Amino acid sequence: MELHTLQYSQSGTNVFRDTRRQVDLLRTDAADLLRESIEVNTDSASLRGSMPSATAIRRINTRFGRHCSKVTQISELTNTQPSGLEGLSVELETVLGEIKTLQISQEASIQSLQRTYNEHREVMIEQMCGNLNTYIDECDNNSVGTSGGNEQYLKEEICRNVVSIVNEFDNITAKQLNEMKDEVISIKGSVTSSIHKCTSLHNDLSQFHEIVKKIGDNKELCLIASIKCKHIIQQALTLLGKSGKVFNVQSKTKHNVGIPSDSHECCISGICVLTDGQVLVADYYNKRVKLLNQQYQAVSHCDVTEYVRDMCQITPSEVAVALDDNASTHNVQFITVTQSQLTLGRKLVLQHKCIGIDHHEGELFICSNTALFKYTLSGKQVCRLYDESRYDTVVKCAVSPTGDRLYITGYYQQHNLLTLARDGTLLATYTDPALLRPDGLHVTPAGQVLVCGYWSRTVLQVGWEGQSKLAMLTTQEEDGVWYPQSVCYSSTTSSIIVGLYGDNILVFRVE
């Protein structure tokens, strides 16, 4: 008897979506999905069954809420497609190794994040104790020879000043520590969730790998296994930030983000999308950060003291903003969003320019015009990852979802996008005339790289390897892209948001 496979219409959701049950689905594939008794024995990899009926196929359509566009006999597919699973087995092994490496890296990130917080807390407490001891020692020295009423007055003065030092710690340092503690808890929760996904995918991939090795030469079963394996491998590649999916622009809308109190024309130098669909935009010239609702209307804003050069997300409700006055002031300002209101948090003071910023699992990556630095969330400089002698060559940066790749743009990179390894080693240089004065840069959760050409007035999608252009997403001629300075992808709305020189942003719906 012939087995059948089902080809669903594009509007349907893939039947193999539930990765946690991939092995069970493989074992009961035809029995559950084609209504006939096809059984896969994982010990002997044997297959037996009979022709599924038309009633069975109708039941499948009813179960999954859609209609088959075509029913094809598996024998027709096996005659035209390779039946060997050697390549699939190797691919499974490779992805298994990468998932395990990612899991180990994420576990190390959690430990490093907690260690950074603990060390910073101890330093702050030691500083306060040092301040108290220094003050008490000074008072003790000054009290020599004091007696009577003066001694009582001195004791009261000491008590007042000690209370003042402790209150200052409570009001400033303790508040900053609590802010950082909340960040650590949020980031640890996000990373832990990703670790669970890794564990689940690793288990599924491992079971598939064992099954594939036992299937043998049965072409029909090989085809079923291949379909299921390729689906779960694609899910793993997405988790690894190696999605090869190319965006296809469906529509475009323009939104004015200026507000009456702006003193200058807007210049949108950074964009972040919150989990609820609200959008934060950094307005360079007006020195403010604006909150947009889901209709891209400004509903709140907060002012800062320097030019807003870039912005990155720290937690679902917090961002870090790169501030620089183009002279001697270089800061990272944390801003929290609570009930559509923006609140300024702690500030990190840097000794070098701060014009580009990104974040990954508790690590900050900061561009200084000529170098890329790595910092902890407490503001401790870890290392200088990459250095260029030329000015304006390290302006914006973005980190891959797994943290193993860093992307850099610079005004004078000569049409180049640089890709670095985690340790700063140069991996690739992508050059394109359509990328004139590279500027805004963003990596999606699936690893798709978006980059703006400021003078070429373009937005490109580049492969995650940083070696090839996958698509020219927007141009000035077709879409009115006017000197794009920032770009961000919203998974909530499946949209690419482009920040321009001027009062407008462009929102492109994509598939």
Residue by residue, DSSP assigns 252-283 as EEEEE---TT-SS--BEEEEEE-TTS-EEEEE
Q: Which residues pair with 422 in a beta bridge?
A: none
Q: Residue 506 pLDDT more than 50?
A: yes
Say which residues have a Cβ less than 8 Å from residue 262's Cβ, sequence separation at least 6: 283, 286, 288
User: What tokens does 494 get?
Assistant: 């499946």
The pLDDT score that the predictor gives to residue 145 is 56
Task: Please state, in angstroms and rounded to a whole number, the distance separating the CA atoms of residues 13 and 15.
Answer: 6
Whether the pTM exceeds 0.75: the reply is yes
Contact indicator for 397, 358 with CB cutoff of 8 Å: yes
Give me the sheet containing 279-283, strands edge to edge. 268-273, 279-283, 288-292, 298-303
What does the pLDDT read at residue 83?
52
pLDDT digits (tens, 9 = 90+) for 6-32: 333 333 334 334 433 444 444 444 334
What digits encode the pLDDT tens for the residues 432-490?
999 999 999 999 999 999 999 999 999 999 999 999 999 999 998 889 999 999 999 99
Name every residue whose Cβ is closer than 8 Å to that of residue 421 and which is 6 or more positions away in sequence. Answer: 404, 405, 406, 427
pLDDT at 287 over 80: yes
pLDDT band at 82 (very low <50, low <70, confident <90, very high): low
In tens, the pLDDT along 188-202 reads: 999 999 999 999 999
Please work out, in degrees rounded to the nearest 5, the angle formed at the alpha carbon of residue 370 by the alpha carbons of 456 and 336.
Answer: 80
Closest CA to 386 of 402, 408, 401, 403: 408
pLDDT at 221: 77
At residue 387, the 3 state secondary structure works out as strand
- Distance CA(447)–CA(194), nearest Å, equals 15
Q: Tell whether the model's pLDDT for residue 239 goes beyond 70.
A: yes
**All domains of the chain in start order, with CATH:** 1-240 (no CATH), 249-510 (2.120.10.30)
Mean of the pLDDT values across residues 79-88?
A: 63
- From CA 289, how far away is CA 305, in angstroms rounded? 11
What whole-number distance in Å separates Cα of residue 504 and Cα of residue 453? 17
Through-space distance between the first and last CA atoms of the chain, rounded to whole angstroms: 40
What is the signed CA dihedral for 25, 26, 32, 37, rounded to 10 degrees? -160
CA distances from 198 to 100, 103, 242, 263 (A): 8, 6, 14, 49
| Strand 356-360 with 363-367, pairing | antiparallel
Question: Would you list the DSSP string of 93-120?
Answer: HHHHHHHHHHHHHHHHHHHHHHHHHHHH
Q: Is 236:99 a contact under the CB 8 Å cutoff? A: yes
Whether 122 and 378 have beta carbons less than 8 Å apart is answered as no
Torsion of CA 325, 358, 312, 303, to 10 degrees: -10
Residue-wise pLDDT tens digits, 33-42: 333 333 333 3
Residue-averaged pLDDT of the chain = 83
The DSSP element (H or E) to which 68 belongs, if any, is strand 68-73
Q: Within 10 Å of residue 260's Cβ, how many Cβ atoms? A: 5
Residue 485's pLDDT is what?
A: 96
- Report the amino acid identity of residue 300: S
Other CB atoms within a 10 A radius of the CB of residue 81 amount to 12
Calculate mean pLDDT across residues 311-320.
96
